[in-house]
Amino acid sequence: MVNQVRRWLPQSILRRSRQMVSRMNTTTIRSFLDHPFLMVEKLFAGQHVSSESSMKEISDGSLNNNDSGGPSDPPYIVPSRSCLSRSQKKIVEAKVRAIQSEAPIYIVIMKSSSIVVSKQMLEFGAHYAAAYLPAREQTMVLQCKGKIWNTDMVIRNGHRLFLRGGWPKFVCDNGLRLGDICLFQLKKNESKLTMEVHVISREEF
């Protein structure tokens, strides 16, 4: 029966869904044969949901020197719903090389939700937050161009991390605008949770 199912699948979907197909029980396989296009649609939908909920961990060999040959952290992380253009990526990667951060740098393209006065808050992607930020509300110190700002890192819906109190002042003091890019570098060995913020203005792209 599995072979019958596989004949319905385009090769591109078959490669991505081979494990799923091999795990189908008899009832699921029969349903597939009765409604093949519905099942293929479900496979596409499942793939889409998975990709939307994940983080894009963009790694370049020239950025990541891993002499051990084992797995290593990506040099920078972009939220799943953001996408860098070719020119943005080139400038961001040059900046990441210059920073040489121990932890991956979190990349944020400024959107209205981050800089409009009535909304001003910044969300850290779930995967980045889970891997690199503490899972409790506390003050986060932002450093930029030799100055510091105290912001409130808060938790919403049990796991989503946002910067709120203090973030609007950071936005105002640094003149952040739509399309500017902020690189958040987690600082280690600090008494308080601290991130250095490197700003790339939209005119540079």
Q: By the 8 A CB rule, do 114 and 181 touch?
A: no
Digit-coded pLDDT (tens) for 186-195: 999 899 999 9
Other CB atoms within a 10 A radius of the CB of residue 40 amount to 16
According to DSSP, the residues that pair with 152 across neighbouring strands are 139
Q: Tell me the two tokens of residue 197.
A: 């913020």
- Distance from the first to the final alpha carbon of the chain: 54
pLDDT band at 80 (very low <50, low <70, confident <90, very high): confident
According to DSSP, the residues that pair with 149 across neighbouring strands are 142
**pTM (whole model) above 0.85:** no
According to DSSP, the residues that pair with 57 across neighbouring strands are 77
Domains along the sequence of the chain with CATH:
2-53 (no CATH), 56-61+73-204 (2.40.330.10)
Considering only 42-46, 121-125, 174-178, which range has the smallest mean pLDDT?
42-46
Helices 26-34 and 36-53, axial angle in degrees (round to 10): 110
Longest pairwise C-alpha distance within the chain: 66
Q: Is 26 helix (H, G, I), strand (E, B) or coil?
A: helix
Other CB atoms within a 10 A radius of the CB of residue 65 amount to 8
Residues in the chain: 205
Distance CA 147, CA 135 (A): 26
DSSP state of 117: T
Digit-coded pLDDT (tens) for 111-146: 988 887 667 899 999 999 999 999 999 999 999 999
Pairing of strands 138-144, 56-58: unpaired
Distance CA 109, CA 83 (A): 9
Residue 105 main-chain phi, psi, to 5 deg: -90, 135
